[in-house]
Structure 1
Amino acid sequence: MPRRTKKTPRYFEDLKVGEVWEAPSRTHTESLFYAFQLVSGDNRPLHYDMEYCKSLGLPGLLAHGYQVLAQTAP
C-alpha cells in the first residue's frame, strides 16, 4: 500500500488496513523534559533528574507517557 504524505486531515473511517502513516521525527531534549514537567506538575525525579535516573541504571531520563503522546501527535 502506498505511503501517505499529504497533510490533509482525515477521519478514522477513512483509514485503510495496512496503510502506513509516518509521523515527523522529534528529538526529546532535556529542555522538553523540563518544560513538560513544568506544565504537567509531575515532579517525580524519573522525568527530570539525570543523576537519579543513572543511579537506577537507566541510560537517561524516562519520558512520561503523556509527553511521548503529546510529542508524537502531528
Structure 2
Amino acid sequence: EVDFVAVRENKTEYYQVAASVLDENTLARELHSLKQVKDNYPKFIITLDDYTGDYDGIRQINLIDWFDTQ
C-alpha cells in the first residue's frame, strides 16, 4: 500500500513515509509498495534520514528538504 497519493494541477505523486530506511528490510518494504504502481508519475520516500538517494527512479528525500520544496 502507498501511504499518500497527491494530485494537484493535474500532477500526481506517490509517497511513502518512514522514520528511517537505513535498515535494508525497511527500505525494501517501502520500495516494494511504490514499485507496484505501474505508471510514470513521480514516486518518493520521505524520511528523517540525512541520506537521500534514487532507487530506479524512486527518490528518497529528507522530510525537512521536502517541506522546503512545497
Task: Normalising by structure 1, report the TM-score.
Answer: 0.24
User: What TM-score do you get using the length of structure 2 for normalisation?
Assistant: 0.25
Q: Which has the higher strand share?
A: 2
Q: Which has the higher helix share?
A: 1
Structure of greater Rg: 1
